[in-house]
Amino acid sequence: MGSSNKPHGGDWKQRIFRWMEDNRGFIVVVVVLPLSLLFGLFMKLRHWLIRKFVSAPEKHDERVRAVQSQVMRWNKQPATERKLMCTARPNWQSLSTTFFRKDQCHQISLPLYDILELHENRMTVVVEPMVSVGEVTAFLVPRGYTLAVCLEVAEATLGGLAMGVGMTTFSHKVGLYQESIVAYEVVLADGSVVRATRDNQYSDLYHTLPWSHGTLAFLVSLELQVIKIKPHLKLEYIPVRGQHQYCQMIRELCGALDGTTSTPDYLEATIYSKDEAVIMVGNFCDVPQTEKHKINRLTRWHKQWFYKHAEGYLRTGRGFEYVPLEDYLLRHNRSIFWVVETMIPFGNHPLFRWLLGWLLPPKIAFLKYTTTPGVRAMTFTKQVFQDIVLPMNRLEDQINKSEELFDLYPILVYPCRIYDHGQHRGQLRPPRKDQLVPGTNYGMFNDLGVYGVPRPVLEKKRFDAVVAMREMERFTADLGGYPFLYADTFMTREEFEQMFDLTAYEKARQKYNAVGAFPHLHDKIKPEIDVIEVGKQYIEPL
């Protein structure tokens, strides 16, 4: 047979993908952002129509009965014909990087989009699970409140955070998102509705619903803790040089060394290199009349991306400004922390911000909606999106390990309490003794947020994503930490069960008839692609 001079199909795909990588800024601006805008307008119209003609707070019980009816119909099917249940919400509407095979499940529709009630006397708000962070923020802030744990991404849904996990810059005071949940209202596999709280007969369910990712029951409403606010924060930027110096300052400010320490209302750090960080301290305040000119509306379309704005204090030195609370809560939204820079390298340029900044951020749902299997397989080996809960007393080791494996900056650090609720009370194990804050029942941990493109990939060098992530998972397990499960995990089932304590979870699955009704947690969160095999294909630079 004669040889062919035509390139292999795989070569063409790699060349196309390489061209798209090299010109991603142009493609995103010319194609993705306009389509994302149209997509966002369509979704707003869809949500408006749903609220106008379908949903209303007073119809909540009626909508719950409709969910129950769907589950009852599933129960009436012959046992041999039943598929495992999941929500009918499309994968592209979630913030997870994975694409769970919902087409292989029996899908239950949950059209639950309403804010139901604000209980000012109890300092709680009751919401349906599809309410977004942006919507509840717009509802609460004008009334003088905000969620105790309020994520920075407007598209995130409150139900998704409840069944997964969330952490913010108030978490050094209250802990993970799950600690701010007063009650879950859920529909069980048999179609019954129960309300789970910390101390009622369903307390076992209350403690296992977080991190369960919809594998125990269908969430139909949440009661969440809110806090009283003032309209503005005084936000102080503290540039620190020297790794030990900034790590120690974070520990001191968050109360990791002494449980009696007075802590700021909001606290975070952005690490720009191994030896440089900016620590941000926010406190509720009234703005003096003489300092109104120092108010900075961070979320205006033409403003610098927040992490770039903060980085400037490394040059100018310590400083402060006043920030409207709603702007602070969504400060990372336009640039999706710093992920947008990997898509639009020139996106923070003043000319771009003034002319096209109003198009940001690209809708995460749209980006997922347009992700093909091929793009999904290639991009996961060239980008990192990980939030990892790790003990604050090992912060230096965390940063060093991240640099060793990914050499990627900036890095996000949010201090967070992890409470000791006792053995086998949920998927998280109690903090180890050396991790506990003296005189308290919690350990001070932190979110290590690693997002973007590793330096070896940027430099077109060899990068083995599988080896790097497997090593990061081993490091996390050794320290008694946990990765957020919205991101790709490379753990086997055995490794997963060693890291997470599934004792109470497995008992809850049996007790509430979730076995045979819902997927198992590991099956639900594991990548839909064979990450090991795909990783082997894309080790070499394109």
Q: Give the residue carrying structure tokens 């309020």.
A: 150
Please tell me the distance from the alpha carbon of residue 532 to that of residue 6, in angstroms, as a whole number: 30
Which residues neighbour 15 within 8 Å (Cβ) at sequence distance 6 or greater?
7, 542
Closest to 32 in 3D by CA, of 486, 308, 332, 371? 371
Lowest mean pLDDT among 63-67, 102-106, 440-444: 102-106
- Bridge-based pairing of strands 115-119 and 193-196 is unpaired
Could you report the per-residue pLDDT of 218-241, keeping only the tens digit for each?
A: 999 999 999 999 999 999 999 999
- 207 beta partners: none
Strand stretches in 37-92, DSSP E = 85-87
Please provide the average confidence, as pLDDT, over all residues in the chain: 89
pLDDT digits (tens, 9 = 90+) for 135-162: 999 999 999 999 999 888 788 899 999 9
d(CA 364, CA 342): 14
* Higher-scoring residue by pLDDT: 354, 36: 354
- Mean pLDDT to the nearest integer, 320-346: 90
Element (H, E) at 109: none
Q: What is the pLDDT of residues 79-131, one digit of tens each?
A: 889 999 999 888 666 666 676 788 899 999 999 999 999 999 999 999 999 99
For 255-266, the pLDDT digits (tens) are 999 999 999 999
What is the C-alpha to C-alpha distance for residues 43 and 452, in angstroms, rounded to an integer? 27
The beta strand positions in 478-542, using DSSP E, are 482-483
Residues 177 and 166 sit within 8 Å (Cβ to Cβ): yes
Q: Residue 296 and residue 235: Cα distance in Å, rounded?
A: 10
**What are 174-184's pLDDT values in tens digits?**
999 999 999 99
pLDDT of residue 366: 72
Q: What share of the chain has pLDDT > 90, as a percent?
A: 68
Give the model's confidence band at 535: pLDDT under 50 very low, under 70 low, under 90 confident, else very high. Answer: low
H-run or E-run covering 183:
strand 181-187
Question: Mean of the pLDDT values across residues 271-288?
Answer: 97
Give the integer Cα–Cα distance in Å for 365 and 114. 20
pLDDT of residue 4: 44
Residue pLDDT, tens place only, 384-412: 889 999 999 999 999 999 999 999 999 99
Give the pair of three-digit tokens for residue 158: 């409150």
What local confidence, expressed as pLDDT, does residue 189 receive? 97
Can you give the pLDDT at residue 10? 54
pLDDT band at 378; cut points 50, 70, 90 = low
CB 248 within 8 A of CB 140: no
Q: Which amino acid is at 90?
A: P
